[in-house]
Structure 1
Amino acid sequence: MTGAPLKATRAAAPEWPDGVLDVAALRVSGQQPLPFREFVVKVHSRCNLACRYCYVYEAQDQAWRTQPVTMSADTAERTCRRIAEHATVHALPSLRVILHGGEPLLAGTEFLRRFARRLRELLPPATHCDVMIQTNGTRVDADCLRMCHEERVQLGVSLDGARDVHDRFRRDAAGHGSHTSVATALRLLGRPEHRAVWGGILCTVDVTADPVATYEHLLTYRPPAIRLLLPLGNWTHRPPGRGPDETHVPYAEWLIAVFDRWYRATPGPPVRISLFESLLDLLLGGPTGTETIGGAPSQLAVVDTDGTLTLSDQLKSAYDRADRSGYDVEHDAFDALLDHPGVVARQLGSDGLCGRCRECPVVSVCGGGHYPHRYRAGTGYLDRSVYCPDLMALIGHVAGAVRDDLRRARDRHAKARP
């Protein structure tokens, strides 16, 4: 294939991929769907923080206002059954379920316990299930940790850096910062008895903050992993600092500074950072470990608190109801969602990219960048990432580091030969 089949259109073309991507033709040509392996379940639609960059409450989509505050017991049961049904139909050896929000801990420890327990009861015995809660960290306490240990649930905690950096955006409705509460939670998780339930730190990149100081602050909590996220933005709603000047690459500069400190650490990197590990794997011919880089097909589905099936909650950053599919757990199996153009487009690999991306020399590493970052009003998601200049610079720098190491290793080997 040299590109995904398009539907014939009359006047103004609709935005990619809705109304443009010919799913039926793709299926006839042999392109088959990949089952979902990751499920984000929105168990609570409100939050006790009012983070200024939040894509749920502060972006273009405001559907949260009409969502049930907490997922009902009936909807939770249907969701568990639908996930188990999908695992059975596709004989999935493993899957991952992320309990999300809003702030998921607002749903209550007992709700989360029942959900995790019921899900595993319904899944086929051969399917291993990882359950994770992604939390802002302000409500992590002894009761929460006890539940996580007993139900084999991991906690991912959001922290953007030191107090002055984190509290710049991650505040409550009264304007009070949350760093003190989050730091307390991270120190709890860092104790030997709790490390088994700690999934790591999620950090949204703030290019106005010192990158090395931010990284070093995160390391003080000794996390098992750090996930660095670029702020959600696109060509219509640009992320902070990502202006039209493509010679200015603030996000690349920030990430390069952290990469150099991480990569050159002795005796080796002290923590797993999925973005950097995926870049190294891709440059050496391996697969990516994340959907945000490398063009791995999306195998993610999202369930909202009312049971609606959505494409990806991060699409809320594009326009109102960009993530809606028209399906729900009461009436539809997850297989119905697999034929939605918004899912199909994210499973096409290079065939789902614009021509400029397909011709790019680093497309096998970049993969077009993260799907939500490609949106442009009028054309949709058939564009390169708004972070394209930054990704090019970052990839070039990491590739240079790998080349230098390989050259040094070759020279050492040559000198050691008799």
Structure 2
Amino acid sequence: MAFQNGLSGLVVKVASRCNINCTYCYMYNSGDESYRLLPKVMTENTVNWLIEKTIQHCKKYKIKEFEFILHGGEPLLAGKEFFERFAKKARQQLGAIGVSVRIGVQTNGIMIDAGWCKLLNTLSINIGISIDGPAWWHDKYRMDHQLNGTHAKTIAGLRAAQKEQCKIGVLSVMDATSNPIEMYDYFKGLNIKDLDFLWPDHHHEKLPELYLRKVSSPTYTPFGDWWITLFDYWFNDSHNKPRIRFLNQVILMILGVDAGFESLGGEENRYLIIETDGEIEASDYLKACGNGFTKEGINITTHELSDALNAPLMKMHRQSHRMLADTCRQCSIRDVCGGGHIAHRYGNGRGFSNSSVYCFDLMKLLTHIQNRLLDRLSAETIRQARLTRMSYADALDSINV
């Protein structure tokens, strides 16, 4: 299948090491050791190749908007001078061919101070900060290399960014044993306007701990139940509630707007990863599938970005919402779910030809949200969106469960 529209952006791993050591990290604690062979920081030569190949790609596909997400490891370890050079070079050179450039950074927040905030504001770089909840929860997972909690430093970074009026979003890795209402109230209390909760990086050969205690089944859906509780509380919140990206995407998908990303929908995934050595890779979540799993021998210094689109793993990732298991193809919610994230389908000796390890959780959640929307929408909107009420049992029947 031809790739018609080019990439929307690149996740650029500007630093391959991290100043903290999160227990669940797919980079360092899920069995992939490939980071040890990478340069600690992306060199200026690699940046030059990256921008040149991006220019060629934008020309080829007539792209007018492009995004760089600076990532790691911990990207701020690359230093202020790196950020300034990268942002100015990317905007100047891509701007010269009529491409508008957006830049964001995803950080653990502990290096953020007034100096960083002023620089990122000057460079118009949006900030994503990883926070898992209150200190007693966050510090269970997000520790430094001496096993000390990082919550206090992360919150200090958040407060510095808020004081400087930076554009901030927060990412939190959900834990189904937490209280979702408590988590929501905590982040709202921090005055977070843009929030998302990430599904943990598990698959059929690396099951969530809750599924080691009890196998996932239509009647055991701890992750779906967590999301349902969160959704209802958030949906009923009438005062200054934060945007929760995943829930916003689900609502738009149900209403017929394909706003999906890696985890939802039917569209192609239009982002790739660039490692510090210039290696081009599919989603870095796939590192959780095995050591060196994402390595396909394609580098920004020797290949075009379009070359990567036909490498086996990157092609599969790009078309993951169209390359579905038989169970997913017959499922009544597949147009919204899209089979879930490809990384969550891996294992059982069948590669990615499985339904998601979170299949029942997703099915229960998505049918719940659709029915809640039907309770609120006007008859005309329901007619235009061609929505019908569907119970969780109805969805299960579609896959003969």
Distance 2:350 2:251 in 1: 32
Aligned-partner residue type, residue 159 of structure 1:
I
* TM-score of the aligned structures, taking structure 1 as reference length: 0.86
| Among candidates 186, 197, 203, match of residue 172 of structure 2 | 203
Task: Report which structure shows greater RCO (CA 8 Å, sep ≥6).
Answer: 1
Residue 124 of structure 2 corresponds to residue 155 of structure 1: no
The correspondence of residues 94-113 of structure 1 with structure 2, limited to 5 A, is 94-113=65-84
Distance 2:376 2:211 in 1: 31
Counterpart position of 1:217: 186
Aligned-partner residue type, residue 379 of structure 1:
R
User: What SS does structure 2 have at the residue aligned with 1:232?
Assistant: coil
* Offset from partner CA, 1:138-184 (integer Å, 9 cap, x none): 00011111111111111100001001110000000111111101111
Counterpart position of 2:225: 253
Alpha-carbon offset, residue 280 of structure 1:
0.9
Aligned-partner residue type, residue 76 of structure 2:
L
Query: Structure 2, unaligned stretches of length 5 or more?
Result: 382-401
Distance 2:211 2:380 in 1: 37
Distance 1:65 1:110 in 2: 24
Query: Structure 1, unaligned stretches of length 5 or more?
Result: 1-25, 411-418
Aligned-partner residue type, residue 256 of structure 1:
I
Counterpart position of 2:301: 330
The correspondence of residues 121-136 of structure 1 with structure 2, limited to 5 A, is 121-125=92-96, 126-136=98-108
The correspondence of residues 214-363 of structure 1 with structure 2, limited to 5 A, is 214-243=183-212, 244-246=215-217, 247-267=219-239, 270-348=241-319, 351-363=322-334
Alpha-carbon offset, residue 187 of structure 1:
1.8
Q: Once structures 1 and 2 are overlaid, which stretch shifts more, 249-258 or 339-348?
A: 339-348
Distance 1:336 1:132 in 2: 25
User: What SS does structure 2 have at the residue aligned with 1:99?
Assistant: strand
CA 349–76 in structure 1, closer or farther in 2 if over 3 Å, else same? closer
* Offset from partner CA, 1:258-310 (integer Å, 9 cap, x none): 1111111115x611111111111111111124321223311111111111111
CA 349–73 in structure 1, closer or farther in 2 if over 3 Å, else same? closer
What is the RMSD of the two structures over their aligned residues, measured on CA atoms?
Answer: 1.9
| Among candidates 143, 146, 161, match of residue 118 of structure 2 | 146
CA 289–271 in structure 1, closer or farther in 2 if over 3 Å, else same? farther
Distance 1:183 1:349 in 2: 36
Aligned-partner residue type, residue 119 of structure 1:
A
Distance 1:212 1:314 in 2: 27
Identity %: 31
User: Which runs of at least 4 in structure 1 moved beyond 6 Å after TM superposition?
Assistant: 407-410
* TM-score of the aligned structures, taking structure 2 as reference length: 0.90
Residue correspondences, number: 378
* Offset from partner CA, 1:359-411 (integer Å, 9 cap, x none): 0011011110011111115211121111101101111211121121137999x
Distance 1:351 1:98 in 2: 25
User: What SS does structure 2 have at the residue aligned with 1:324?
Assistant: coil
